[in-house]
Each structure stands twice: as structure tokens, then as C-alpha cells.
Amino acid sequence: MQEERENQQPQKTPLGFWQLWNTSFGFFGIQFGWTLQIANTSAIYGYLGANPEQIPILWLAAPLTGLFVPPIVGYMSDRTWGPLGRRRPYFLVGAILASVALILMPNSSSLWMAVGALWMLDTAVNVSQEPFRAFVSDTLPEKQSTRGFAMQSFFFGFGAVVASLCPWILNHVLNVSSLTNVETTIPLTVKISYYLGAAVFLGAIVWTVVTTKEYSPEDLNLLQKRLVKQGGLFSFASAIFASIRQMPTTMRQLAWVQFFTWLGIFSVVLYFPPAVGYQIFGAPDETSQLYTNGVEWAGLCIALYNVVCFLFSLSLSKLVALTSRKAIYAFCLLCGGAALISLLFIRDQYLMLLPMACFGLTWAAALSMPYAILSDLLPEEETGVYMGIFNSFIVLPQVIASVGLGWVMKNFLGNNSLMAVVLGGVFLVVAAVSVSGVKKVTEEGTADTEAVSA
């Protein structure tokens, strides 16, 4: 009888457009900060003297925090309840820490200071971001799950667009560079972009915290009894390992798709800006103005594929209703893989725009489809910890890339950043093929016919 009461789910009210908007708006701030990191960290490392083969290992902080922090935060948020609810306290704490890290990062005076700031930033982003996945599952009825995760992809794309354009706008539109005669290692436009990122990250999270509510446990006594039975809020190790052993079959099958998807995406994160600077713009070294121009153009390309991401996200649920989650997922991954491979034959900055737009389809699908597939399968009382475990399937390939890609660059790719990006495209093609191995995807029905629209 007690188990039946613990498994009872509250009756969830469907949310309107603006309620969905508020529920996911914090993702705008998270993605703003994360995109600044993606677009500028490798360049910052270059400004501070890092060699191309050093860049992957210097990024190791990102996947390591993603490996350990999300399952722990997910476990704890499943078992938290207070004045701010279950997930929202973690949103807020992560946002405060991330804002501090965003201010520190562009003011780094040494390579290792920048690495430390990245470590802090990634930890904070994971603390904020991971409960958001469970927050959508907690808040939305099943029929709105695809719509809710598509709204998250929309804000991922929108936040990334604004963040990617920031340095270019500050330099070419507002002419910020002319405001100072003081030469610094890291450009002033990058510094101001990070300051704006700190404000946007914190502001967007606060907006979601104050404009949304969470469903409380139907019986707080049952929550307390479960905490006592499992050893308390911080006894997460045994519970996480138990959840890994009991994870749904579909989650195991998606692990391979995630592995190759994020091996490909992380190759882009590590090497796309330097590839544009060196191979597309022909910069001889990182001190050249051509390199700075190339990194700025890479930011515009990142903005473009994120524009495609948030526009395409608006139609995802309709396309799923017409086909299936698997079909859309595989198609989008294949588009991104082909797009990255095509860069091997492009040396004109404007011709790059078409393949980067195609990569936006991959980005939209990677940020939404696997979570939409899983949302209907996970027990609600354990959604946070399972979403955290699922994040490990994203992080493990990043750890492998951080540890091994520098060696591959040096011994097989001749330190050619563009070749590393093309290799990422090959991984995405493998991921698209791997989607066929996901055999137990929930059948789509009328629940997925709603588009994210007013």
C-alpha cells in the first residue's frame, strides 16, 4: 500500500504558451553563458599561450564536472523540498556561481587561472542545468513533453545566438575596441561579453525561479521516510549505482547514440574557432589580426546554427507527429555529420554558412529528442537522478576527446584544427546510424502534435 502511495502521480495541468516560456526561460541564461564558453575558451587558451595539442586536455574540466555533478545534483534534487521547491534552489545556486566564474574567466592572467575558471563555470552550469531537465518532466503532463523540451531547445538556440554575436557586435557595431588604448592579452570585446553573460545568466534563472511553481510531494511524510530509508539526502552513491543497474532498456540503447553524437559535437567545441582562424582565414598564429577575425567569424557561424536550432525547434513536435522521433533524430544527426565533413572542401568564409546552418538541425535534435524519448519512461520520483546519469553518456565521450584527441591531432592530423572538426562529422554519421538500434521508443500519438506556438 505504501509503495502504491509513493508511486501516485499528481494530476498535472497543461500549461499555456507563456507558462511554458517562463518554465524554460532560465535556459536562455544557461545557454548564453555556455555559448560564450564554447565560442571563446579555446581562443582564450590560445591568447594565453596554449598549443593546439594542449587544448583538449585543458578542456578536461568540462567533461569531468559533467560526469560527476549531474547525477549527484539530480539525486539530491529528487529528495529536496523547501520554500523554493525541489529543483529551483539548484537553479539559483548554480547561477550565482556561474556568474562569478564568467567574470573571472576573461580576466585570467595565466593559462592555469583560465582552466580554474572553466572548472568553476562548468560545475556551476551543471548545477543549474541538470535539474532543468527533470523540472520539465515534473511540471508538464505527458502530452506536452515533446513541446516542453522543444521550448528548451528554442531557448538554447536563442541564448546561443545572442551570446555568439556579442563580441562581433561590440567590435564592429559599437566599436568598443576604440574605447581603450590599453593592450591586454584577451580582447576587451570578449571581456565585456562575459560580463553581459554573467548578468544574463543570473537574470534569466531568477526570472524562472520567481515566475514558476513546482508540484509538491503529495505526502511530505513519505518523502521524509524515503530519505531515512535510503540514508539521507547525501547518501547518493549507492542509490546512483542502483539506478544505473535498473535503468530502462531504451536509455541503454540511447547511450550509444549519445556517445557518438557528443564525440562529434565536442570536436566542434574544441576546434571550430581555431579552425576558422587558421585554415579558413589563413592566420599564421594567434597574434595575427586574421586569427582574431576568424574567431569572430566562428562566433557568427555559431550564432547561425543556433538561429536554425531555435527556429527548427518550433517545428520539431509537428515533424515528430508526421514521422517518428527516431526518424527525425537520425535525419538531423546525418545532416550535421555531412555538414562538418563538407568543410574539408570549403575555403571561403561565406560558403561556410550553408553547412553550419545544417549543423543547426543536429544541435536542435541533440538538445531535445533523447530527453523527449526518455521523459515518458522514467519514474517521476527518480527523474532527476536518471537525467543526471543520462548526462554521463554525453560526458564520457568528452572525457575521451579531452584525453585522446590531442594525441590524435599531433600524430595523425598534423595539428590541423579543421581535420578535427571533419572527424567530428564522421562521428555524427555513426551516431545517425546508431539510432536504428533504439528499439523501444515510445509510440507517438496526439500528445506530440502540439507545436511550440502561441
Q: Which three cell numbers stand for residue 292?
A: 582574431
Distance CA 446, CA 75 (A): 32
pLDDT of residue 239: 67
Instruction: Examine residue 179 and state whether it is found in any structural domain, yes or no.
Output: yes
Per-residue CA distances from 44 to 36, 212, 269 (Å): 11, 37, 13
Tell me what pLDDT residue 380 has: 65
Specify the number of domains making up the chain. 1
Residue 187, classed as helix, strand or coil, is coil
What nine digits make up the cell of 410? 599531433
Report CA torsion sign: 166, 168, 172, 178.
positive
- Looking at residue 443, its amino acid is E
In a domain, 337, yes or no: yes
Contacts with 366 (C-beta within 8 Å, 6 or more apart), sequence order = 261, 262, 265, 332, 333
Q: Please choose, from the candidates 423, 412, 326, the residue with its C-alpha nearest in 3D space to the C-alpha of residue 369.
A: 326
Spatial distance between the Cα atoms of 176 and 58, rounded to a whole number of angstroms: 29
Residue 10 belongs to a domain: no
Instruction: Report if residue 1 sits inside a domain.
Output: no
Q: Is residue 288 part of a domain?
A: yes
Structural domain boundaries enclosing 200:
15-213+240-449
Query: Block means of pLDDT (10 residues each) for the chain, length 454 residues?
Result: 44 77 88 84 84 81 76 78 83 93 90 89 87 76 72 79 82 67 67 92 93 68 50 57 78 90 91 90 82 85 85 83 89 97 93 95 88 74 73 82 85 90 96 86 39 32
Tell me the whole-structure pTM to 2 decimals.
0.69
Instruction: Give the bridge partners for 85, in sequence order.
Output: 82
* 109, part of any domain: yes
Q: Name the one residue in this structure whose C-alpha cell is 549505482.
A: 241
The DSSP code sequence of 123-141 is HHHHHHHHHHHHHHHHHS-
CA 67, distance to chain mean position in Å, is 13
Task: Assess if residue 231 is contained within a domain.
Answer: no
CATH code: domain of residue 203: 1.20.1250.20
Model pLDDT, residue 424:
95
CA distance 250 to 440: 6
pLDDT for position 452: 33
